[in-house]
Amino acid sequence: MKSTRTKWVGLVQVEQDDGIEILGIGRAAFVTTIAWCASELMFRSVVETALAATGLRLVDVEEVETCETRLRENSVPDAFIAAMSEVGAENPVVFLDFRTYPLNE
* C-alpha distances out from residue 101 to 12, 16, 47, 68, Å: 13, 11, 20, 30
Asked whether residue 82 is domain-assigned, the answer is: yes
Reported as a pLDDT band with limits 50, 70 and 90, residue 104 is low
> Residue 105's pLDDT is what?
55
Asked whether residue 105 is domain-assigned, the answer is: no
Asked whether residue 14 is domain-assigned, the answer is: yes
pLDDT in tens, 22-42: 887 778 999 999 999 999 999
Reported as a pLDDT band with limits 50, 70 and 90, residue 1 is very low
How many domains, in total, are found in the chain? 1
Distance of CA 77 to the CA centre of its chain: 16
The residue that leads in pLDDT, 21 or 104, is 21
Asked whether residue 15 is domain-assigned, the answer is: yes
pLDDT at 3 over 80: no
